[in-house]
C-alpha cells in the first residue's frame, strides 16, 4: 500500500460558467470539476479543500487547494496529467508536496482581491472580466474612501446576509483604486473576507467617487453595522482572487 502525501495545488480559473468554488447541488462548480478530473487521474475521488469560497461568476488568478493522495505519481506527471483532464477555463499552475498538517484555508495569512472596471464603449472582450462604467470616477475621492477601511474593523455592514461566520471583524492592510489608460482596479488585501465583502466595498467606493455617498461613510457602516448605509453590490464578473498569502 502506497504512503499518502498531502499535495498543495495552485490553480487559476475563469469563473464565468461556474457557481463558485464549492460543490453545490444546483450547479456546476470549480471544486466539482477538479474532483471529477482528479478521480479520473487517481482512480479514487479525493477530498479537495480550498483556501476560500468564491462566488458564482468570480475568477481566480491564484487559488490554492490541498488533497491527500498516494505517493506514487511524480509531481511533474501529476501536473501534466491533471491539466490534460481539465477544461480550458481551469488550469493547475503548480503542485507540490506539503506537510501532512498543512491546510489551504487555515494556513493562509491573507488574500488579495482585485475588482476590474473600464470606461469607454462596450468592449465584448473586456466585459467578460470587468465592469463597464458609464462615466469617469473621481480617483481622489475613491482613494479617500479606501484609506478609511484600512485597519481592524467590524465589516458586518459590508457583507451580505448569506454570511456563514459569526466573527465579522477583519483587518485590511491595503486598499487602493488605480487607473491605467481606461482600466480601473480596486485592490484590497486583508486577513480574511466576508460574503460579498469585496463587491460591496468596491460598490461603495464607486458611489463615493460619483458623489452619491460621503467619502467618510465607512465609519457609520462600521459603527452601526448597517448594510443599507453602504453602497451597491457590484456584479461578479470584475472580481478576481489575485493572490493567497502563506
Q: Which residues have a catalytic role annotated?
A: 55
DSSP 8-state symbol, 213: S
Distances (CA, A) of 240 to 62, 92, 185, 203: 9, 16, 11, 15
Distances (CA, A) of 245 to 8, 47, 54, 74, 210: 14, 22, 16, 26, 33
Q: Is 224 helix (H, G, I), strand (E, B) or coil?
A: helix
The helix, strand and coil proportions of the chain, stated in percent and rounded to the nearest 5, come to: 25, 30, 40
Question: d(Cα 235, Cα 16) in Å, to the nearest integer?
Answer: 12
Question: d(Cα 71, Cα 4) in Å, to the nearest integer?
Answer: 5
Backbone angles phi, psi at 24, to 5 degrees: -135, 155
Residue keyed to cell 459569526 = 166
Closest to 115 in 3D by CA, of 190, 212, 20, 184: 184
Question: d(Cα 239, Cα 74) in Å, to the nearest integer?
Answer: 34
Amino acid at each position: 500500500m502506497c504512503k499518502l502525501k498531502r499535495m498543495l495545488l495552485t490553480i487559476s480559473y475563469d469563473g464565468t460558467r461556474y457557481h463558485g468554488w464549492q460543490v453545490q447541488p444546483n450547479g456546476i462548480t470549480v471544486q466539482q470539476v477538479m474532483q471529477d478530473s482528479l478521480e479520473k487521474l487517481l482512480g479514487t475521488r479525493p477530498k479537495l479543500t480550498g483556501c476560500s469560497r468564491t462566488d458564482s461568476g468570480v475568477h481566480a488568478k491564484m487559488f490554492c487547494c490541498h488533497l491527500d493522495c498516494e505517493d506514487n505519481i511524480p509531481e511533474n506527471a501529476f501536473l501534466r496529467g491533471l491539466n490534460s483532464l481539465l477544461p480550458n477555463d481551469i488550469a493547475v499552475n503548480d503542485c507540490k508536496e506539503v506537510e501532512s498538517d498543512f491546510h489551504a484555508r487555515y494556513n493562509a495569512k491573507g488574500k488579495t482581491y482585485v475588482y476590474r472596471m473600464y470606461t469607454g464603449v462596450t468592449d465584448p472582450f473586456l466585459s467578460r472580466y470587468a465592469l463597464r462604467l458609464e462615466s469617469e470616477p473621481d480617483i481622489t475621492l475613491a482613494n479617500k474612501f479606501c484609506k478609511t477601511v484600512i485597519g481592524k474593523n467590524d465589516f458586518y455592514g459590508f457583507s451580505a446576509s448569506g454570511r456563514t461566520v459569526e466573527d465579522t471583524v477583519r483587518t485590511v492592510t491595503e486598499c487602493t483604486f488605480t487607473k491605467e489608460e481606461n482600466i480601473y482596479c480596486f485592490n484590497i488585501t486583508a486577513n480574511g473576507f466576508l460574503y460579498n465583502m469585496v463587491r460591496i466595498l468596491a460598490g461603495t467606493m464607486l458611489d463615493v467617487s460619483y458623489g452619491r455617498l460621503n467619502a467618510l461613510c465607512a465609519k457609520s457602516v462600521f459603527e452601526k453595522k448597517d448594510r443599507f448605509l453602504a453602497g451597491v453590490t457590484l456584479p461578479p464578473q470584475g472580481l478576481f482572487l489575485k493572490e493567497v498569502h502563506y
